[in-house]
Amino acid sequence: MYYNIVTFGCQMNVHESEKIAGMLENLGYQPTSKKEDADIIVFNTCAIREGAEDRALGNIGNLKKMKKANPNKIIAVAGCMTQQKQVADKLFKMFPFIDIIIGTHNLYDLPIYINKKLKENKRVNENLSEGKINENVIASRTSGENAWVNIMYGCNNFCSYCIVPYVRGREMSRKKDDILNECKNIIAEGKYKQITLLGQNVNSYQEPDIKEYNFACLLKDICKLDGNFKLTFMTSHPKDISDEVIELFKTEEKILKELHLPVQSGSNQILKAMNRKYTREHYLDIIKKLRIAEPNIRLTTDIIVGFPGETEKDFEDTINLIKEVKYDGIFAFMYSKRSGTVAEKMQDQVPEDIKNYRVNKVLELEKEIQKEKNNE
Ligand code: SAH
Ligand code: SF4
Ligand code: F3S
């Protein structure tokens, strides 16, 4: 029996697909890259922007024929998109060939639903409003020399544009011993050169049972593990990165000299409306400290253009901030309205053509900076 997993979205989802693979292999399935050969196809979806949802819908819709040709093929949809109940219900109605729809909090029940489908031929559309950390599923890793390790789940920040807190629930950190054991096993396997710690906001990691054990403590403990490996992490929220963590770029050889530090906007007014809880000045101060600790640090960021109310002046502030920091890489996105978020109801939504113009401006500037850096 064969499985095929289609993944959308962030590294968190990429790694969760490795856990889905682990569960399916446990049931006796093997991987195949060909959907036609698969006995089960799982879509692991993302809801971050409208485009991500549309792509998933298109991909799922395309399976109708394949299901007709082989009605025994199981089709399952999981992830952030189907954690939104109204979306899950719509999909369930719209695509009768989908067998299983689950959300983010009941992902680990997938084997139960597969058995239900096989034994009782029952379609399932199940969704839980909150979840628990599951330490029992072993990931079947597929990402080459890099091993992903979750340190926390969920997000408490409620940036006004963002769907993640609604589909991933509140922050929950794993126990440090569980994380350290997973890292030890990864190193012992000998296949991996790099460990990437994952969380929506890794800097707010908090050991559930040890009060003073924070993200810096965890980084130091992982660096102490024997073995030849590099350590990196994502994503960092600027409001929570501590001086202690910044110093580790200087003192810990195993930590890669790179940091993804999403700024989103260079305008204080927009940052406030986004509920990011830092100012442009605070952000630039962090960049300064990072470059003092490690002058060659590679810095990357995320930018959202066209957030509601973003004026030409606000956008200029973003452009100037990018010029000042001279990032090594930028992920630029056009603001996408997400249902249920605070920004959805904001006045002054920015027209698509202006968003388009601004996103291109950012990408052009990024190219220029890269050229300049390459010349150097
Ligand atoms: N937890 C991470 C980011 C997760 S989402 C952090 O806080 O940095 C990845 C990126 O998608 C965000 O940094 C943001 O730039 C972008 N994004 C999130 N919601 C968006 C929306 N509604 N429209 C456009 N881009 C969005
Ligand atoms: Fe979304 Fe903000 Fe949480 Fe990142 S920190 S996942 S952007 S709410
Ligand atoms: Fe998308 Fe969910 Fe990640 S919404 S960006 S897959 S946490």
69 C-alpha to center of ligand 2: Å? 42
> Ligand 2: which of 10, 80, 201, 265 to mutate, judged by most atoms within 8 Å of the beta carbon?
201
The ligand 1 atom at the shortest distance from the C-alpha of residue 303 is 15
pLDDT reported for residue 376: 84
Helices 215-224 and 176-189, axial angle in degrees (round to 10): 30
pLDDT per residue as tens, the chain (376 positions)? 999 999 999 999 999 999 999 999 999 999 999 999 999 999 999 999 999 999 999 999 999 999 999 999 999 999 999 999 999 999 999 999 999 999 999 999 999 999 999 999 989 999 999 999 999 999 999 889 999 999 999 999 999 999 999 999 999 999 999 999 999 999 999 999 999 999 999 999 999 999 999 999 999 999 999 999 999 999 999 999 999 999 999 999 999 999 999 999 999 999 999 999 999 999 999 999 999 999 999 999 999 999 999 999 999 999 999 999 999 999 999 999 999 999 999 999 999 999 999 999 999 999 999 999 999 8
* Res 273: pLDDT: 98
Pocket of ligand 2 (CB under 6 A): 155, 157-159, 162, 164-165, 200-201, 237
Nearest to 59 by CA among 98, 30, 111: 98
Cα of 69 to ligand 1 centre, how many Å? 39
Domains defined for the chain, CATH in brackets: 2-126 (3.40.50.12160), 143-256 (3.30.750.210), 261-376 (3.30.750.200)
pLDDT value at residue 322 = 98
Ligand nearest to the CA of 333: 1
Q: At 180, give phi and psi (nearest 5°).
A: -65, -40
- Pocket lining: 12 vs ligand 3, CB cutoff 6 Å: yes
Structure tokens at 344: 């959805």
The residue behind tokens 């025994």 is 72
pLDDT at 201: 95
The single-letter code of the amino acid at 199 is G
pLDDT score for 341: 97
* Residue of the CA atom closest to atom 2 of ligand 2: 159
d(CA 267, CA 316): 8
- Nearest Cα to 101, choosing from 83, 121, 119, 116? 83
Between the CA of 312 and the centroid of ligand 1 the distance, in Å, is 21
Q: Output the pLDDT for position 343.
A: 98
**What residue type is 172 in one-letter code?**
M
H helices present in the chain, as ranges: 11-26, 50-61, 64-69, 85-94, 110-120, 164-168, 176-189, 215-224, 243-251, 268-273, 280-293, 312-325, 352-375
Give the per-residue pLDDT at 125: 97
Separation between Cα atoms, residue 24 and residue 6, nearest integer Å: 14
